[in-house]
Amino acid sequence: MTRPPSSSSGARRVRCRCGRTVLRQLVGNRAALDVTADADELTAAAAAMLREPNRLDWCVRRRKDGPDLAWVDRRNHPADCLRPHVIDHQCTAPAVPARLPARRKRKPTPVPAGQLSL
């Protein structure tokens, strides 16, 4: 099924590298954000719990042609929103080979033999 790109572009369901189904959409008018969110729908409260500074949640509006992600604006978004929410996808697939910061292995401090820790 092909659909000409229209002014109203909803979310696309795509398969991520990690195998999960995610929703992708450009959200926003002026500064559109390329959003990749988990397709699993959560309640607004559950999504808010998972929200982090770099992990946003999105309000899912149902349209006849599919889900449409909307920015959760704290001022305009009701805290008791009844729409499903989704949260930014955190990919578990092996990332593009990047050099990990050298980290020293830390050995657990050995407990001297014969000493019981109470």
Cβ-based nearer residue to Zn ion, 32 or 90: 90
**Pure H helices in the chain:** 44-50
Contacting residue, 9, 16, 24, 41, with Zn ion by CB under 5 A? 16
Tell me how far apart the alpha carbons of residues 99 and 118 are, in angstroms, rounded to a whole number: 42
Supply the minimum distance, in Å, between the C-beta of residue 106 and Zn ion: 30
Q: Is the dihedral of CA 71, 73, 76, 82 positive or negative?
A: positive
The SS3 assignment for 80 reads coil
Number of residues that bind Zn ion (CB under 5 A): 7
Tell me how far apart the alpha carbons of residues 114 and 92 are, in angstroms, rounded to a whole number: 43
Tell me how far apart the alpha carbons of residues 81 and 45 are, in angstroms, rounded to a whole number: 8
**Contact flag: residue 91 with Zn ion (CB under 5 A):** yes
x/- mask, Zn ion, residues 42-81, rule CB under 5 A, reads: --x--------------x---------------------x
**Contact flag: residue 24 with Zn ion (CB under 5 A):** no
Cβ-based nearer residue to Zn ion, 82 or 113: 82
Q: Residue 14 has which token pair? A: 């795509």
Binding site for Zn ion (CB under 5 A): 16, 18, 44, 59, 81, 83, 91
